[in-house]
Amino acid sequence: TPPPAPANMLESREEDPALRPKHMKEMIGQRSVYERIRVAVDAAMMRGEPLGHILLDGPPGLGKTTFATCIPRDLGVELQIASGAALAAPKDLLPYLTNAQEGSVLFIDEIHRLPKAVEEFMYPAMEDFRIDITLGEGVNARTVNMNLRPFTMIGATTRTGLLSAPLRDRFQIREHLEFYTDEELTTIVLRNAAILKCPVEEAAARKIAGCSRGTPRVVNNRLRWVRDFATSRADGEVTLEVAEKALAMSGVDSLGLDRQDRSYLETILRVFNGGPAGVDAIAHTLNTAPDTLTDEVEPFLLREGLVVRTSRGRKITNRGYEHLGETPPEAPAG
Ligand code: ADP
């Protein structure tokens, strides 16, 4: 019998390092972002200067960390990784700044989570490669000025709107990552199926891509699930039929929505009569964090036009009603 598919299995599996592109040229999609970063990277290498600071924003799983790990590898420099959520005070950031080698990259994920004090401590570090450290307390306190080796900061955030303007302005390059096309995701499925030595029919690859919410991380998770299913329930080959059965079993629907997406839509529809409903109220009903909804669930549903954001909250659209098999209330009489 195949392994059971618990509610969040598809999203919660460990990321497979083998599937993450190592160099920028292996990355698929995001062409205009890729080209602009490529120009900056090439120029920095040719001039032997540190690359300017880069800010990447966009929904989870679209390649922010992948860019941040490929860029230093392409540049041949060291990479340090920190998370905004873990940097509670300037002293937590200090070792990263003083360890940074000339031209190396410091990647800060979830940079919108940095407390104000850490953010302000970072301004001179980013601008002039200099930090001001206060030693001692009270009347004995004095500020010591310390020079850093020039480095590159790469920041990632799910929403640039959450960043203060002074921080945002200190990044020379600011790029927004968009959802991937089905075409691009199909290419990723075929590339990764080859890495996993898993035979996949082209039609099956397109099916998996079309069910992956425009997101490479989701495409990889779905591919791994379909591959397990093919091993356990078929002869290992991912045919269209195998892919369809596997996806249906895990609760993924025709638009690629999973159970969490559908409970979000169902909640607005049934608990809030189609909305408008505040995101906090929806999150409370679903017993999840509002941030999870705004950062992970909503971006794709908004893009697909299944919900809209109004000044009074989220509302389900006619398309949303239809996707859930319901008749929209204001449907023109036919
Ligand atoms: P984020 O940091 O935006 O949440 P990641 O960079 O961790 O997203 O991407 C999630 C996974 O998706 C990666 O491990 C990688 O395998 C895959 N991926 C992301 N972007 C690409 C891309 N452009 N081409 C191929 N695979 C990608």
- What value of ipTM does the predicted structure carry? 0.99
Evaluated on CA atoms 215, 217, 222, 224, the torsion sign reads positive
Whether the CB-CB separation of 173 and 37 falls below 8 Å is answered with yes
pLDDT: which is higher, 143 or 330: 143
DSSP designation for 277: B
Residue 215 CB less than 6 A away from ligand 1: no
Label residue 99 by pLDDT band (50, 70, 90): very high
Residue 32 pLDDT > 60: yes
Range 209-223 average pLDDT: 97
Ligand 1 atom index nearest CA of 58? 3
Single pTM value for the model? 0.92
260: nearest Cα among 245, 246, 250, 270: 250
> Does the annotation mark 143 as catalytic?
no
Range 210-230 average pLDDT: 97
Q: What is the pLDDT of residue 11?
A: 45
Query: Position of tokens 């966009």?
Result: 58
Residue 63 CB less than 6 A away from ligand 1: yes
- Amino acid letter, 166: P
Task: Give the mean pLDDT of the chain.
Answer: 93
> How many other CB atoms sit within 10 Å of the CB of residue 165?
7
Ligand 1 centroid vs 178 CA: distance in angstroms? 12
Whether the CB-CB separation of 132 and 120 falls below 8 Å is answered with no
